Amino acid sequence: MGCQRPTKKSRGYNTNIGGCLKTKRRMAQTDTLLHLFAGGCSGTIGAIMTCPLEVLKTRLQSSGVTLRPVFQAQLGALSRTRVIRPGTVTPGPLQVLRSILEKEGPRSLFRGLGPNLVGVAPSRAIYFAAYSKSKETFNEMFVPNSGLVHMSSAGVAAFITNSLMNPIWMVKTRMQLEKKARGEKKMNALQCARYVYRMEGVRGFYRGLTAAYAGISETMICFLMYETLKKNLAKNQFISLNGESEKRPSDFLSLMLAAAVSKGCASCIAYPHEVIRTRLREEGSKYKYFFQTGKLIAVEEGYAAFYRGLIPQLIRQIPNTAIVLSTYELIVHLLGDSK
């Protein structure tokens, strides 16, 4: 039974109104905590399961990846004779993976997992809570649950999350780029953070933040597609024969597929910012600013370099996003129904 508006003549008028307001505030706080918890749990599960692929992707994105020399035979323009020209070929994901396993050992595939676990739960929690609250606000400003609402909510949530969590992701990237032979002692997260602070100061923790802001476009595209697909799934699958809302296990598999499709398309469209972000976070590199980095990569390595590491990124991000979003939906569904 909901809160009913009593008449002024009723004895408990003020008490009932105050009780209604307190109940609504309590429900809003509970919903926020629910989204924080669901986002944190889903992010942690996804990070653990896909960490090796993230290390592989980061190595491929960096400027320090070893380029294999090749010699290409070309016909001379005037003499029509063969001219041997030196060149380089970027190693593929399997070659980089083999190199990491041979030179650094299997444990190196989990470099950066510490700060990832420290950061992923609060970052996902912050993101989903901010997304939920932003969507409530934008639903009052625009057409409810429209594409504009979903894109705006995703953009605001990503901006807040990136601003707060960039120092942790900076340390994670530095740890993943650290190359040391098998048996050599490697820096842990705390040592890496101290080193960054000693060498670059507080500003060092915010390297790559401009590229992270550029990556908000990927998040906005992803959530626009996901919410659209989810809305269509809700019309077709979540309605039982008696007209009541009822979710089945197969429905969550459909949500995983929707998340995978959304993230895959968004990653392909907005991927270059990932390469620029990794280059900006490299230690002692020549990359200083977002556009300067993009120009250097284009001039020195060609436009194909903006898509280095895309394959392991898709292999990692698609299942990771599917796991995160479906786990989030499941937790919200289970705990939301139990309230």
- Rounded Cα distance, 194 and 296, in Å: 29
Provide the sign of the torsion angle of the four alpha carbons 32, 34, 39, 44, taken in this order: positive
Give the model's pLDDT for residue 4.
Answer: 52
- pLDDT, tens digit, 9 for 90 and up, residues 212-223: 999 999 989 988
Q: Are 130 and 330 in contact (CB under 8 A)?
A: no
| Residue predicted with more confidence, 78 or 196 | 196
Distance CA 60, CA 247 (A): 41
Domain contains 17: no
Q: Is residue 16 domain-resident?
A: no
**Is there a domain that residue 323 lies in?**
yes
243: alpha, beta or left? (left if phi > 0; alpha if psi -120 to 50): left
Q: What is the pTM of this model?
A: 0.71
Report whether 104 contacts 113 (CB < 8 A). Answer: no
* Domain housing 43: 25-65+90-338
Task: Of 190, 165, 192, 167, give the one whose Cα is nearest residue 177.
Answer: 192
In a domain, residue 4? The reply is no
Q: Hey, how many other C-beta atoms are within 10 angstroms of the C-beta on 54? A: 25
In a domain, 13, yes or no: no
Tell me what pLDDT residue 68 has: 54
**Residue tagged 């284009």 (tokens):** 298
CATH number at residue 140: 1.50.40.10
Which of 39-53, 71-85, 237-251 has maximum average pLDDT?
39-53
CA distance 65 to 36: 37
> Can you tell me the distance from the alpha carbon of 317 to that of 22, in angstroms, rounded to the nearest whole number?
41
pLDDT for res 83: 43
| Residues 154, 215 contacting (CB under 8 angstroms) | no
Residue with tokens 């669901």: 38
The number of folded domains in the chain is 1
Environment class of 243 (CB within 10 Å of its CB; exposed 0-12, middle 13-18, buried 19+): exposed
Residue 23 has pLDDT above 70, yes or no: no
Evaluate whether residue 83 is within a structural domain. no
Most confident of 147-161, 249-263, 320-334: 147-161
Tell me if 151 sits within 8 A of 222, measured CB to CB.
Answer: no
Token pair for 186: 């490697």
pLDDT in tens, 164-207: 999 999 998 999 898 877 778 888 889 999 999 999 999 999 99
Going by their DSSP bridges, the two strands 82-89 and 68-75 should be labelled as antiparallel
Contact criterion met (CB below 8 Å) for 313 and 52: no
Q: Give the mean pLDDT of the chain.
A: 79
